[in-house]
Structures are given as C-alpha cells and as structure tokens.
C-alpha cells in the first residue's frame, strides 16, 4: 500500500506560535514513517508560509503543497488557526483535514459565544461581562474576578484580579491579545478536563483529568515548567464524571465539532461549570488530551492514526 501523504502545519501568527511548533513537531515525529509521507509546513509569526526547510514559499505555493497531500493536520493553536481560519482555507482548497471545521472552531475560540451556547443548553458557566476598550472604564468592581481575552488560547492575557487597583492593568493586558475582554466571577472548584472524540458509530469520552496546582493554570504553568500536575483519572465521584461527560458531549454536538476537542470545567459543590472549549488543544505526547486517551489504552500514535482515519473518511 502507498503511504498517506500528510501535511503537518505548525506555527501561526499569534502568541501561541512556539506552543504550536512543539505540538506539530511531536505529531510529525509520531506518525509512522512506514505509513505516512510527512510534508512539514510552518506559518511564521508574520504570517509567512514556509516549507520543511524553513524557506518562505508564500500562500499560493503552500496551497499547492496542501492539494498534493491526502490529508492535512492543522496543528495551529489560537487565532489564525484554531479559530476556523485554517479549516476554511483547507475546505476551499478541497483538502481533507483533521479536526473541527470553520463554525465550531470560530464559536469555541470565542469564549463569549461559548458561554451563550452553554447557557442555552442548561450548562453552568461563570457569570461574566463582555468589555471593550470603549466600555471598560464603566465597569464597576464587584469583587475578585478573572480577566481574559475573548478569543485567545493558552491562557494568554488571563489575570486573577483580587484588588480593585489591579483591574485596569489586567484589562489592558487582556486587550493586548484581543479587542474584547471577558470579566468573570471567580469560580471556586477543582479544575477538571475531559476530551471528546467522535467516531462514525459512537462518541468517546476520555478519562477525566484534574489539574492540581496553586492559582490559575496560566501560560507559565502550562509551558514554563511550574508545579501544576495532572491526575488521571481525576479522583472524583462517578456522578460528577457523568455530569462532566454529558455536558462535554452536549457542547461537542451543539458546536458541531469533529475529531477531538477538550472541555475544561470547574467542579464546584453545585456541579460542573464550563470554563472553555479547545478544538485544537496542545498536542505533544505529554499534553492533556494525548495523556487522557493514553490512560484509556489509546497511545499517542494510535490516537493520531484515528484522527487521520476520521479525516479521510475511513475512521
């Protein structure tokens, strides 16, 4: 049998560039060279497309490379990638691809839209306000809040604000990543993640994962070697697991996700509260989603094979 020609796209013109490069490198290295011919493509911080040698080739040539492939793996986190941009490009180019399409990517990246959809489904979310540079000055302090950009990933620009004097700087910091800011009430609960993967015949949920650490699981905690650790499966009651799985599956279906997506919750005394949805989460072998599925008996290379199979229509 001939090998599958697979384009692995990394990088991106956003603050998650380095994280995406790490994810894409791990994916490319873990695809069986006996089964795959890997085509490496990178999007630079300036938006320039580059080939596997790092030479600039431009968008038109990149599309030509993609159209010569059997499937694409767009491993680009954040705006310009995970938000549906790459999915739209691949749809227009007629290239099968791993992951969610334009609509779920755009909706899930927009934390405000995610909240509205969750509320309509009866899923709890943190009370919050949507602010812009023009409306931020009118926001009245009401207690500790979390300030975050509406559409950014890897917890970039996220700040826990405990005192009124810290609010303006936190909003300004979030506005550096997006022109809209979400100010949310602090939710006290355990941080629990679950991943959802849809096969043609059924929807699979991974074991739950608990993030154990001090404070917010921010960019530094995720990628700077700090002390947060993962517990898989999360040591929580079966009823809580079921509630989280049901909420995650409902969101997956409502958004119209494809492939795998990660759903992050706070588990409170009143039940799970949805924090955010990631349609292209971190994807090194040590990232949350691969570790959750590995704990269920699906090792990283097999997870990748499954995602490629689904994208090619024979999963």
Is 148 a residue whose pLDDT tops 60? Answer: yes
Is 219 a residue whose pLDDT tops 50? Answer: no
For the chain, the straight-line distance linking the first and the last C-alpha, in angstroms and rounded, comes to 17
- Looking at the structure, do residues 91 and 135 belong to the same domain, yes or no? no
- Looking at the structure, do residues 85 and 179 belong to the same domain, yes or no? no
Q: Using N-to-C axis directions, what is the helix angle for 288-295 and 300-312, rounded to 10°?
A: 100
- Looking at the structure, do residues 137 and 118 belong to the same domain, yes or no? no
Of 215, 213, 263, 216, the closest CA to residue 241 belongs to: 263
Asked which of 136, 158, 185 is the last residue of a domain, the reply is 185
Q: What is the pLDDT of residues 25-84, one digit of tens each?
A: 999 999 999 999 999 999 999 999 999 999 999 999 999 999 999 999 999 998 899 999
Q: Tokens in use for 313?
A: 């229509």
- Looking at the structure, do residues 285 and 268 belong to the same domain, yes or no? yes
Residues 6+ apart with CB under 8 A from 298: 306
- Looking at the structure, do residues 62 and 38 belong to the same domain, yes or no? yes
Residues 6+ apart with CB under 8 A from 9: 24, 41, 42, 43, 72, 73, 74, 75, 76, 81, 86
- Looking at the structure, do residues 115 and 237 belong to the same domain, yes or no? yes
- Looking at the structure, do residues 195 and 299 belong to the same domain, yes or no? yes
Asked which of 97, 114, 148 is the last residue of a domain, the reply is 97
Catalytic residues: 16, 154, 223, 262, 264, 276, 278, 282
- Looking at the structure, do residues 166 and 85 belong to the same domain, yes or no? no
Taking the model in full, what pTM does it have? 0.91
Domain count, the chain: 3
**Residue 62 maps to which CATH number?**
3.40.50.20
Q: What is the domain extent for residue 78?
A: 4-97
């Amino acid at each position: 049998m001939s090998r599958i020609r697979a384009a692995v796209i990394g990088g991106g013109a956003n603050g998650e560039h380095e994280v995406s490069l790490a994810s894409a490198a791990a994916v490319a290295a873990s695809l069986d060279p006996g089964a795959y011919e890997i085509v490496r493509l990178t999007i630079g911080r300036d938006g320039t497309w580059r080939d596997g040698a790092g030479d600039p080739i431009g968008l038109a040539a990149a599309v030509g490379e993609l159209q010569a492939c059997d499937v694409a793996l767009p491993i680009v986190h954040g705006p310009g990638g995970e938000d549906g941009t790459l999915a739209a490009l691949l749809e227009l180019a007629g290239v099968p691809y791993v992951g969610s399409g334009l609509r779920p990517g755009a909706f899930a990246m927009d934390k405000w839209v995610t909240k509205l959809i969750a509320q309509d489904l009866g899923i709890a979310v943190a009370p919050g306000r949507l602010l812009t540079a023009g409306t931020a000055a009118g926001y009245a302090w009401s207690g500790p809040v979390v300030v975050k950009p509406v559409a950014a990933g890897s917890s970039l620009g996220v700040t826990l604000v405990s005192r009124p004097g810290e609010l303006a700087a936190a909003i300004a910091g979030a506005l550096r990543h997006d022109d809209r800011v979400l100010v949310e009430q602090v939710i006290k609960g355990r941080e629990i993640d679950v991943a959802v993967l849809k096969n043609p015949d059924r929807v699979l949920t991974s074991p739950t994962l608990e993030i154990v650490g001090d404070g917010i699981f921010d960019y530094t905690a995720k990628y700077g070697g700090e002390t947060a650790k993962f517990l898989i499966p999360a040591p929580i009651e079966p009823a809580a697991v079921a509630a989280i799985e049901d909420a995650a599956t409902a969101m997956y279906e409502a958004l119209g996700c494809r492939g795998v997506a990660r759903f992050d919750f706070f588990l409170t005394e009143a039940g799970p509260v949805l924090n955010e949805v990631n349609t292209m989460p971190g994807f090194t072998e040590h990232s949350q989603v691969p570790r959750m599925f590995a704990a269920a008996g699906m090792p990283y290379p097999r997870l990748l094979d499954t995602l490629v199979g689904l994208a090619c229509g024979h999963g």
